[in-house]
Amino acid sequence: MTVPIVLEGGKLVDGTGGKPLDDALVIVEGKKIKAVSRKGKIPYPKEAKVIHTGGKTLLPGLWDTHVHYRDWMAELFLAHGVTTIVDLGNYSTWILAQRDGEAKGKIRGPRVFACGEGIGEGPGKRIEVKNAEDAHREVKRLLSEGVDAVKVWAYCTAEMLKVVSAEAHKAGRKVIGHLGVISARDAVLNGLDCLAHATGLPMTAVKDEQKAQWMLDQEIRRLQTMIIGEPGITAWGLFAMMEEDTFDAVSEFLVKEDVRIEPDFVYRWQLAS
């Protein structure tokens, strides 16, 4: 039986937007927070382990939603308050073993949500997917192995994404994309749920279709050469070409389609500009 834990005396910032609570009392039983109050206001559970947190600040566990996990990272995440991670690309057998080991208490580390291998990483990668049939085979394999979500990568076409999304959604799993050869709009219309690194947005945030196609062609050319610093338009440069007067319409489209964007979008745009 797990001994209840009482955290008493610290300052609590609960993440809801409310004011910090001084002399806070937090009662934890197992993996659940059972009560939050002020010190002296509610009784402690029998045989509880009391941890005095005076002079410290208590926060909810943080999430890192874009990780490529390695075996040396577990303690570092915990030491920095990160209690949950979303791994967006790893060997499925290894990362799923890490996830399950942590869930069973055999491995000390953050809670893991995992995608396994990505679909559409490109030539010579771990999984080489050339067409929709290959993509269908691989997404079924990943789902059968028990992944929590599915990741598509830069070489995933609209046709591939459509079959991947259909299978993933049928299994109740979301699809996350680091896009390259398709725009964010086309990806969303083919079932994408989340944009990693805000990829594909530059081509979606311009009004002229010819300009959008030219930008997409530049990104495809970059992917084919993989020389990031060569003369011409780089991945960063595309963000600088977005048109601010399209942002409201693009935002409304993404909200309507219930699509998430990683929060590095503003950083990329500002850096490129």
pLDDT digits (tens, 9 = 90+) for 110-121: 999 999 999 998
Task: Please report the domains of the chain, with CATH numbers, ordered by start residue.
Answer: 5-58 (2.30.40.10), 62-113 (3.30.110.90), 114-272 (no CATH)
Question: Amino acid identity, residue 3?
Answer: V
pLDDT attached to residue 124 = 63
What's the pLDDT band for 218 if we cut at 50, 70, 90?
A: confident
Model confidence at 227: pLDDT above 60: no
pLDDT tens readout for residues 52-68: 999 999 999 999 999 99
Give the Cα separation of 271 and 60 in Å (integer): 30
Residue 35 DSSP SS3: strand
Model confidence at 13: pLDDT above 80: yes
pLDDT attached to residue 52 = 96
Model confidence at 42: pLDDT above 60: yes
Give me the phi and psi of 9, to 5 degrees please: 100, -10
Rounded mean pLDDT, 4-21: 94
Model confidence at 210: pLDDT above 80: yes
Q: What is the mean pLDDT of the chain?
A: 91
Asked if residue 27 lies in contact with residue 6, where contact means CB atoms within 8 angstroms, the answer is yes
Radius of gyration, CA atoms only, the chain: 22
Give the Cα separation of 215 and 238 in Å (integer): 7
Give the Cα separation of 47 and 6 in Å (integer): 10
Residue 146: both structure tokens together:
């028990």
pLDDT attached to residue 125 = 66
Give the Cα separation of 144 and 171 in Å (integer): 10
Q: For 268, which DSSP code?
A: H
